[in-house]
């Protein structure tokens, strides 16, 4: 099954008054890269979150956003920075002497000074909460995977349709290629008649014409390119039906397809064959763009 690298998933869960919500999104990337944005109290969980995500996803630039709300008072702990408070008290006392202000009045402002009071949260039963967070992440990954599979299915259908069109073009080019040497021979004979006229019998050399046709046929022969191209198209279609990541392999096959199509176009001695080769290259380019979004 083909999976798109572009996806989005979300999940939410509640544990002992603490609600955790997660969102996972991804965009195209040749490599695996994940950025986790979560509150500091969950920092110890991030390594296991990464491992779980890597089990499900092999390519893409991902971002996991984690938020929470806590309705329990047990985890809240207000701490006072005593050394900082003492330093501010000393500074206020010196200021009261300089300004001739009441020291007690100035000291009343200590409570409004930043960083004097610090609210810290302590997780209760950290191991159980970590296990719960992994459950929420697994649910988020399932939602994420469902979206990727839906998009991957649409990409697969479109790409397989393009390979079918490429097969039709391949067969047309192969059929036309068979007639090119004989067409070239007739053109040569026609040119000889135009140039020599009634003197044709005196100067005409049938063996020379045959040799020219043979040389031309060898230069214009695209049999090997057509065989390889047919094999690449078949491999591409088969790989699309396989399970697991396949984007890098598909990308390599497309490079090989493009190489054969370029050679066919360069060897073509027929306007219709050239048009068909160019049309095939257009399908290959579309496949290249779509494969960038396949895991």
CATH code at position 20? 3.30.230
Q: Would residue 2 count as lying in a domain? A: no
User: Based on the domain organization, do 99 and 81 belong to the same domain?
Assistant: yes
Q: How far is CA 42 from CA 68, 128, 134, in A?
A: 10, 13, 12
What would the mean pLDDT of 280-293 be, rounded to a whole number?
A: 92
User: Based on the domain organization, do 30 and 85 belong to the same domain?
Assistant: no
User: Based on the domain organization, do 232 and 103 belong to the same domain?
Assistant: no
Q: Would residue 220 count as lying in a domain? A: yes
User: Based on the domain organization, do 110 and 185 belong to the same domain?
Assistant: no
User: Based on the domain organization, do 100 and 132 belong to the same domain?
Assistant: no
98 or 134, which is more confident: 134
pLDDT grade for 84, boundaries at 50, 70 and 90: confident
User: Based on the domain organization, do 167 and 273 belong to the same domain?
Assistant: yes
Distance, in Å, from the CA atom of 160 to the CA atom of 165, rounded to the nearest integer, reads: 9
**Number of domains the chain contains:** 3
Q: Is the pLDDT of residue 112 over 70?
A: no
User: Based on the domain organization, do 192 and 176 belong to the same domain?
Assistant: yes
How does strand 32-37 pair with strand 60-70? parallel
Q: Would residue 1 count as lying in a domain? A: no
User: Based on the domain organization, do 50 and 160 belong to the same domain?
Assistant: no
User: Based on the domain organization, do 90 and 130 belong to the same domain?
Assistant: no
pLDDT of amino acid 82: 78
203-223 pLDDT per residue, tens: 556 666 666 666 666 677 888
pLDDT of amino acid 37: 95
Element (H, E) at 97: helix 82-99
pLDDT grade for 89, boundaries at 50, 70 and 90: confident
Distance, in Å, from the CA atom of 59 to the CA atom of 294, rounded to the nearest integer, reads: 9
294 and 152 Cβ atoms separated by less than 8 Å = yes
Q: Would residue 176 count as lying in a domain? A: yes
106 or 289, which is more confident: 289
Q: Would residue 55 count as lying in a domain? A: yes
User: Based on the domain organization, do 12 and 141 belong to the same domain?
Assistant: yes
56-80 pLDDT per residue, tens: 888 889 999 999 887 665 555 566 6
Q: Is the pLDDT of residue 261 over 70?
A: yes
Q: Would residue 51 count as lying in a domain? A: yes
User: Based on the domain organization, do 92 and 174 belong to the same domain?
Assistant: no
pLDDT of amino acid 69: 85
User: Residue 172 sits in which domain range?
Assistant: 150-291
pLDDT grade for 109, boundaries at 50, 70 and 90: low
Q: Would residue 270 count as lying in a domain? A: yes
211-256 pLDDT per residue, tens: 666 666 667 788 889 999 999 999 999 998 888 888 889 999 999 9
163-208 pLDDT per residue, tens: 999 999 999 999 888 887 777 666 766 666 666 565 555 555 666 6
pLDDT of amino acid 163: 94
Q: Would residue 205 count as lying in a domain? A: yes
Nearest of 256, 257, 241 to residue 294 by alpha carbon: 241
91 or 277, which is more confident: 277
User: Based on the domain organization, do 210 and 276 belong to the same domain?
Assistant: yes
């Amino acid at each position: 099954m083909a999976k798109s690298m572009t996806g989005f998933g979300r999940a939410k869960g509640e544990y002992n008054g603490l609600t955790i919500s997660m969102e996972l999104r991804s965009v195209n990337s040749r490599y695996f890269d994940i950025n986790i944005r979560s509150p500091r109290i969950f920092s110890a969980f991030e390594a296991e979150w990464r491992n779980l995500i890597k089990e499900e996803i092999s390519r893409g630039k991902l971002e996991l956003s984690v938020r929470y709300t806590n309705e329990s008072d047990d985890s809240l702990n207000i701490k006072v920075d005593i050394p900082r408070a003492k330093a501010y008290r000393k500074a206020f006392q010196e200021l009261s002497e300089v300004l001739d202000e009441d020291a007690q009045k100035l000291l009343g402002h200590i409570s409004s000074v930043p960083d004097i009071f610090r609210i810290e949260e302590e997780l209760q039963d950290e191991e159980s909460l970590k296990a719960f967070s992994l459950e929420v992440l697994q649910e988020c990954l399932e939602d994420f995977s469902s979206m990727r599979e839906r998009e991957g299915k649409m990409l697969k259908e479109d790409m397989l349709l393009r390979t079918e069109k490429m097969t039709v073009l391949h067969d047309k080019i192969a059929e036309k290629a068979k007639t090119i040497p004989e067409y070239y021979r007739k053109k040569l004979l026609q040119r000889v008649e135009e140039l020599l006229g009634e003197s044709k019998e005196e100067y005409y050399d049938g063996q020379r014409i045959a040799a020219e046709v043979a040389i031309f046929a060898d230069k214009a022969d695209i049999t090997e390119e057509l065989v390889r191209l047919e094999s690449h198209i078949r491999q591409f279609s088969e790989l699309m039906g396989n399970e697991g990541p396949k984007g890098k392999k598909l990308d390599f096959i497309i490079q090989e397809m493009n190489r054969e199509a370029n050679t066919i176009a360069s060897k073509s001695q027929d306007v219709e064959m050239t048009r068909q080769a160019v049309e095939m290259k257009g399908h290959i380019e579309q496949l290249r763009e779509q494969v960038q979004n396949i895991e």
